[in-house]
Structure 1
Amino acid sequence: MSAADKAAAPERADGGAVAEAQPPAAAQDKPAQAPDLSVDQRSIIYRGSISVRVKDDVNAAAGQASGIATTAGGFIGSDNRTSGSGGSGTATLMLRVPADKFAPVVDQLSKLGSEEHREISTEDVTEETVDLDARITVQQARVDSGRRLLAQAKTLNDLVMLEKEVATRESDLASLQAKKRRLADLTALSTITVTFLGPAAPTPAGEDNPGGFLGGLAAGWDALLASLKVVLTVLGALLPWLIVIGLPVWAAFYLYRRFRPNRATGRPALVAPAGAVPAVYPPHPPMPASAPPVPSKQTDETDKP
């Protein structure tokens, strides 16, 4: 390299540094944009439950449902089956399938028999996801700054204090990251609970209960029947005790009332206490049999002359 090139190299380096430090005019005039939260970019949790009555064995339908979930790229979260005689068996499977395969899988499951109940629910967690991302970024920066300060600690007290602070920040960061992973799992894989009923299996309670006034009336009637059942159960449990204990007590009381000795019903005479002097009243003078009329001193005005 020539001397001129060596002399020009610092100038180009400085000029390049200055050019990189200054943002372009287009970038300065461009306003800040909000994150893209369109339908494709939103985080939505899909949940569904479906009941299907099959004509044959429920185990065969459960096997077909497992194949549908595996083909869609999902897996089986749980599998509960009950066997019964006469086609009364049931099978309940919880399937986890990709969110974009949620609707097709539900439709395929409904075709395995006669659909009796379907319930689909969605939950939009986009704002929560964005908030978690921002909090994780801030917490990660706090952890990095704490680690840098920990590396520069010079005294034992500073070292202990910074280690405690860094451990607290790392714990908070791990908690936020766990929440983010949980939301990511729920949004990436939807949950479908499918129940297969045999030909003679009863319909699960609560699926055919209407809402509104009729639903409240049916719920109240069921509660009344349940309360009466409890009361009758208690009475049935107490009845033997009432017979064993109550009848002898009643018989003893009846015999006592019937054969008890007769007692005087008169009231006892009143006796004056000792030392009390009875009150003596003067005798009332007898009234004459017939008394002459007493003349009136007043004279009627008509008798005057």
Structure 2
Amino acid sequence: MSESAAPANADSRAQRAELDFQRVSLNQAEPPQQATTERKIIRDAELSIETPAPAEGQRKLASIAEANGGFVVTSEAQQRGSSGGNVEIVNMQLRVPAARFEAALGEIRAIGERVRSEKITGKDVTEEFIDLEARLRTQRALEAQFLEIMKQASKVSDALEVNRQLAEVRNEIERVEGRRRFLQNQASLSTIKVTLQTPAPLVGSDTSGFFHSLKEAFGDGIDVAVWIILTVVRVGIALIPVAVLVALPLYLLWRWLRRRVRRTRLKEAVAAAPGHTN
């Protein structure tokens, strides 16, 4: 009788494993536990500041980030030409702890002479963060159940099917965990983008009046004189081939005709002279 009971127990365990496998799916697991989560707010800022020494401000920004427990993500310096001279520009991106966000902004504003523009944004991701944590708990509970079913599976086909769904659950866990870590990082460290540049050069505003008109007229006169001189030079250069190909042959022809006329007149004068005999 004990021999017949052993196969019966084995069959009952296999049946329970199959029933458990049928009950568990990717959308069912133990209900998530309620947890209290602090608010997750992603705060960013963008500032444009005028300063006579952007290079020095660049070093100060790095010190501010380090002093507030943050770091410099990117730092770039460049020069741009303008009608009033070169303008030096520094672009930097900082990350500072969210708790030091306002303090860091105050120190950054004090770097320059004037804040040209400032933009602060905040995004509350608390609800998404809580949802991700709940989904993560659900998927981990589902993973544990699949692992338990794997131990009880007696058929190769059941083991393969459990292993396939277990791989899907683990892929989902990695995806949810990656998104949760990203939100955690963005909420714990605020991003501050800062542009430092030299003050824009002042342009003279006196564009009217007698002296301004006189200055413009004098400049226009010089431009016209230069244009006339350049035109004469261009015409003269253009006439050189004409002089060589047309004027020179005409000049040679004129000299030949002149000599011929002189010879003819000389012969007539000699013939008309008294005492001339042929």
Q: What TM-score bracket applies, with the shorter chain setting the length?
A: 0.5 to 0.7
CA distance in 2, matches of 1:52, 1:201: 15
Which residue number corresponds to residue 119 of structure 1? 119
- 1:59 and 2:55 correspond: yes
1:66, CA displacement in angstroms? 0.7
Give the alignment's Cα RMSD to 1 decimal. Answer: 2.1
Structure 2 residue matching 1:112: 3-state secondary structure: coil
Q: TM-score, normalised by structure 2?
A: 0.56
Aligned residues: 166
Q: For 1:70, which of 66, 87, 97 is the aligned residue?
A: 66
- Cα gap change, 1:152/1:44 in structure 2, threshold over 3 Å: closer, same or farther? same
Alignment of 1:28-107 (within 5 A): 36=36, 41-56=38-53, 58-84=54-80, 86-107=85-106
Query: C-alpha deviations, 1:143-188, integer Å up to 9, x for none?
Result: 1111111222222212211111100000001111111100100110
AA paired with 1:67?
S
Contact 1:90 1:201 in 2 (8 A): no
Alignment of 1:140-151 (within 5 A): 140-151=140-151
Query: C-alpha deviations, 1:62-107, integer Å up to 9, x for none?
Result: 1110110011001111122213464511111110000010011111
Which residue number corresponds to residue 107 of structure 2? 108
Which residue number corresponds to residue 184 of structure 1? 184
Q: TM-score, normalised by structure 1?
A: 0.51
Structure 2: which 5+ residue stretches go unaligned? 1-33, 203-278
- Cα gap change, 1:201/1:67 in structure 2, threshold over 3 Å: closer, same or farther? farther
Query: C-alpha deviations, 1:216-265, integer Å up to 9, x for none?
Result: xxxxxxxxxxxxxxxxxxxxxxxxxxxxxxxxxxxxxxxxxxxxxxxxxx
CA distance in 2, matches of 1:95, 1:175: 27
Which one has a larger percent helix, Structure 1 or Structure 2? Answer: 2
Which residue number corresponds to residue 254 of structure 1? none
Contact 1:48 1:193 in 2 (8 A): yes
CA distance in 1, matches of 2:127, 2:163: 33
CA distance in 2, matches of 1:199, 1:173: 52
AA paired with 1:52?
I
Structure possessing the higher radius of gyration over alpha carbons: 1
Structure 2 residue matching 1:83: 3-state secondary structure: strand
Query: C-alpha deviations, 1:172-213, integer Å up to 9, x for none?
Result: 0111111110010011000100110123489xxxxxxxxxxx
AA paired with 1:131?
D
CA distance in 2, matches of 1:47, 1:191: 5
AA paired with 1:44?
I
1:54, CA displacement in angstroms? 0.6
- 1:153 and 2:153 correspond: yes
Structure 2 residue matching 1:69: 3-state secondary structure: helix
Percent of aligned positions that are identical: 26
AA paired with 1:92?
N
Query: C-alpha deviations, 1:257-300, integer Å up to 9, x for none?
Result: xxxxxxxxxxxxxxxxxxxxxxxxxxxxxxxxxxxxxxxxxxxx
CA distance in 2, matches of 1:201, 1:106: 27
Which one has a larger percent strand, Structure 1 or Structure 2? Answer: 2
Q: Which structure 1 residue ranges, 4+ long, deviate > 6 Å from structure 2?
A: none
CA distance in 1, matches of 2:73, 2:201: 24
Which residue number corresponds to residue 170 of structure 2? 170
Structure 1: which 5+ residue stretches go unaligned? 1-33, 203-305
CA distance in 2, matches of 1:98, 1:187: 9
- Cα gap change, 1:117/1:81 in structure 2, threshold over 3 Å: closer, same or farther? same
Contact 1:45 1:124 in 2 (8 A): yes
AA paired with 2:106?
D
